[in-house]
A and B are shown apart, each in its own frame.
Chain A
Amino acid sequence: MMTAKGNFFHIRHLNKLRWVVLSIVFLMLLLLPFIYLYQTYVAAHAYDLLPASEKQIYNVMEKLTSPFVSDPENQLDQIKGNTWSGTLFGLKLSDPLAVVSQAAASQKFYWPFILTGLIPLIFTLILGRFYCGWICPATFLYELNSNLAVLLNKMGIHSGNRRFDRRFKYLVLAVGVTLSAVAGAVLTAAIYPPAIVGREIYYGIAQGGYSHVVLGGFGAGAVFFFTTLLFDLFVSRRGFCRYLCPGGALYSLLGRYRVLRIQRVVEECNDCAKCNAVCEFGLDPLRDSFGQECNNCTACIAICPTDAFEFKFSVKDKVFQGPGHLGRSYRRGQEARLMSEPDE
């Protein structure tokens, strides 16, 4: 169903599916604080006391949620939290980075919490760094940011595309975990973009500092995240994810021997290098070099004009298979070989 051409579902469409998933996660993060406000209003029986704008929130949320719940005050607790840690129908899920840095900070293993990271861990062992491409709410914004960079370039404002050492983020991870242990606080939470995004959306909408005003409570994370957006725009494309993100580093390490990989079919490849250009993480699919940092985002699959990528169950990348068989350099090589072969 997922490989051959002409079938109903081509893996080329996975990239669209990925955008749908990213959007759904992000929209949920936007929606949850409003649902939460609605819940508190229901709990307080406060409808008649609300100002008009908050009545509007109440009405919209009531319309949205009434098909699913009959007792909004309690039943809406089924989905809570964000991608850093949350509750999904009674199942608590946490980011592996949260588990690692919390264990470092508190210097003990609290098993009920470590188990909440188990399901993400299993998925990561199978799919690699898929979180970064498929779920992370910051990725949603970062990819839009990349598109903005393209737009700016068209307008003549040059965005930066410096390259650094990709191993730097492993150092950030190590330093972050060490600093967490030294400071006795989960410091990685404060610089990890998906945690920041989930949290700041909630702070901004539902927290409101002391005055309980809507949209009044952004914290320090919002400034940090905005800085990373500027960094990505003007210094290095997707720079934070590529070179700095501690969570990305952890996922890469866990996904080093991932089971499901994208691989190049050398017979179909024409060496156009569009995959290298589109790869958000600066990898080199054209030379079969995906490595542990590929997040199976399928952008290369979507852009490939000759459908030369496929998903394979394998724990290793292929070694460089040589130039693509549809490309010019391979053809020249063939011709040269034919010329040099003795006639019969």
Chain B
Amino acid sequence: MKRRGLLKTAFWTLSAVTASMLPFGFLRLMTPSLKADVRWHLRPPGALKDDLAFVSACIGCGVCGEVCPTRCIKFYTREGGNRINTPYIDPSVKGCILCGKCMEVCPTESLTPTPKEEIDMGIAQIDRSACYPWVDQGICGACVAVCPLGGKAIGFDFANFYKPVVKEGCVGCGQCVEVCPHPGLPVWIASREEGTIARHGAGQRRKWLQ
């Protein structure tokens, strides 16, 4: 008799706990986790380096997006999975101008104020087999002209005023991606660990495209 009572309590507790998970499960159903293409999903400047730590620290208030003067910060909504409501920047639509407002306004440690030069959103990569000046299909230099860090992040190849070369100072803000006139975007942002400043060819880009 006593055991039956215990079983009953256990059953009701279990079903109550399961039922209380329903709202979370319901939301989870609506936000399937899709793998984001890291080239077009940068975290805002000053973000925690470990993306899992970033997701666990971000409360999804959206204030970083609300202060961004270029409206470049967007939020994972229906495709986010656990990353739902966390911010990202799509440089192919709009790059970051490194104004630093989002870092100042973030209430949590997910975006911490960082000096402009030490920001680490990634590093730009240029496919030299597609970029117009590199394949001698015209003159451009838009990426170099727009770079907010001046000559420290991107410059021209030796003795050539149009072939762009990425330098170590690049913080990955993505302005060069935004202005690149090539429809195939031969410039993209790679994470610091995987990106290099060496010459890149089509093979490199194909690796990223996968």
Contact = CB atoms under 8 A, between A and B. Distances in A.
Contact of A217 (B27, B67, B68, B77): B77
Contact of A80 (B23, B67, B85, B109): B67
Contacts of A320: none
Given A43-B69, A73-B69, A94-B107, A190 B101 contact: no
B26 interface: yes
Interface in A311-333: none
Contacts of B31: 190, 220
B105 A203 contact: no
A40 interface: yes
Contacts of A212: 71, 93
Contact of A220 (B17, B30, B52, B101): B30
B105 A80 contact: yes
A24 interface: no
A39 B19 CA distance: 44
Nearest to A246: B23
Interface in A85-128: 85-87, 92, 94, 98, 101-102, 105-107, 110, 112-113, 116
A43 B97 CA distance: 12
Interface string B1-29: 00000000000000011011101101100
Interface string A72-88: 01000100111011110
Interface string A149-186: 00000000000000000001001101110010001111
B56 interface: yes
A40 B70 contact: yes
Given A172-B20, A190-B84, A207-B74, A77 B59 contact: no
A202 interface: yes
B57 A105 contact: yes
Interface string B100-135: 010001011100000000000000000000000000
B34 interface: no
A128 to B, nearest CB: 23
A11 interface: no
A95 to B, nearest CB: 8
A168 B20 contact: yes
Contact of A207 (B56, B70, B75, B84): B75
Interface residues of A, number: 62
Given A175-B17, A220-B27, A220-B31, A82 B65 contact: no
A8 interface: no
A53 B65 CA distance: 22
A172 B83 CA distance: 21
A189 B85 CA distance: 9
B101 to A, nearest CB: 7
Contacts of A80: 63, 66-67, 105
A132 interface: no
A189 B68 CA distance: 22
Given A171-B17, A184-B52, A219-B77, A224 B26 contact: yes
B142 interface: no
A206 B66 contact: yes
Contact of A98 (B26, B27, B55, B59): B59
Contacts of B178: none
A124 to B, nearest CB: 18
B62 A82 contact: yes
Q: Which of A32, A198, A199 counts the most chain B CB atoms within 10 A?
A: A199
A343 B191 CA distance: 97
B26 A199 contact: no
A22 interface: no
A202 B109 contact: no
Contact of A210 (B57, B93, B109): B93
8 contacts: A85-B61, A102-B108, A106-B109, A190-B27, A199-B62, A210-B90, A212-B71, A219-B84
Interface of A: 32-33, 36, 39-40, 43-44, 73, 77, 80-82, 84-87, 92, 94, 98, 101-102, 105-107, 110, 112-113, 116, 168, 171-172, 174-176, 179, 183-187, 189-191, 195, 198-199, 202-203, 206-207, 209-210, 212, 217-221, 223-224, 227, 244
Interface of B: 16-17, 19-21, 23-24, 26-27, 30-31, 52-53, 55-63, 65-71, 74-75, 77-78, 82-85, 90, 93, 101, 105, 107-109
Given A43-B70, A195-B61, 8 more contacts: A40-B70, A44-B70, A94-B61, A113-B108, A172-B20, A185-B84, A203-B77, A221-B85
Name the 4 nearest CB pairs between A and B, nearest first: A219-B77, A85-B61, A43-B69, A220-B30
